[in-house]
A and B are shown apart, each in its own frame.
Chain A
Amino acid sequence: DAGVIQSPRHEVTEMGQEVTLRCKPISGHNSLFWYRQTMMRGLELLIYFNNNVPIDDSGMPEDRFSAKMPNASFSTLKIQPSEPRDSAVYFCASRAGMNTGELFFGEGSRLTVL
């Protein structure tokens, strides 16, 4: 079975540009998580969805960040406008069921904002 698929793997953009990161969770998984990882702040939860519904977005840094999950097989994380401090690796993860199972992570999207 395919794992969690993220795209793009690498993105370099200029400050002020819109960035869209994409994630396809493992088929059958009903929970999806977006994390951000930086050297300074470590692994931070941005938002997670259960059955396509956003449950907790308290980790989203500010209004420049938005996430959607229009269906069970696709999610996006959008940054508009991007800033250099948004440079990080963004991970998507999915999970089968509530609370019990492990998270399966994608390979991450490395974002550099110049």
Chain B
Amino acid sequence: AQKVTQAQTEISVVEKEDVTLDCVYETRDTTYYLFWYKQPPSGELVFLIRRNSFDEQNEISGRYSWNFQKSTSSFNFTITASQVVDSAVYFCALSEAGAGNQFYFGTGTSLTVIP
């Protein structure tokens, strides 16, 4: 079974639109960590954010915000006023405290921002 599900394979938006990337995870651990990574066309994987399971506060960083809801096992990522430079593949990931350091990635969502 998939530990991390990113149901949206591809999304296209017009510049300046807001866009939300969905991430649903599955775990039985009470202590776990959630992450988002960005992979721009240049190919590198860039860490964006980490959240632990005890901290459900939403986080905002500039145009980026993250909504963590344990009740629905979701960790969604919203980009406000999207820009062309936001075009990339975005990966959600999960790490479980009791899992011997395993790190589970979703299949990624490819975001295209059209000028």
Contacts and interface: CB of A to CB of B under 8 A. Distances in A.
Contacts, number: 58
A104 B95 contact: no
Contact of B97 (A43, A48, A55, A99): A99
A98 B32 CA distance: 11
Contact of B50 (A31, A50, A102): A102
Contact of B43 (A89, A98, A101, A102): A89
Nearest to B50: A102
Interface in B23-65: 33, 35, 37, 43-45, 47, 50, 52
A26 B58 CA distance: 30
B71 interface: no
A109 B44 CA distance: 10
Contact of B103 (A42, A89, A103, A110): A103
A20 B101 CA distance: 25
Contacts of B98: 99
Interface of B: 33, 35, 37, 43-45, 47, 50, 52, 91, 93, 95-103, 105, 107-108
28 contacts: A31-B101, A43-B91, A43-B105, A43-B108, A45-B102, A45-B105, A50-B101, A55-B100, A55-B101, A56-B100, A56-B102, A89-B43, A91-B45, A93-B45, A95-B101, A95-B103, A98-B100, A99-B95, A99-B96, A99-B98, A100-B52, A100-B95, A102-B35, A103-B47, A103-B103, A105-B37, A105-B44, A108-B43
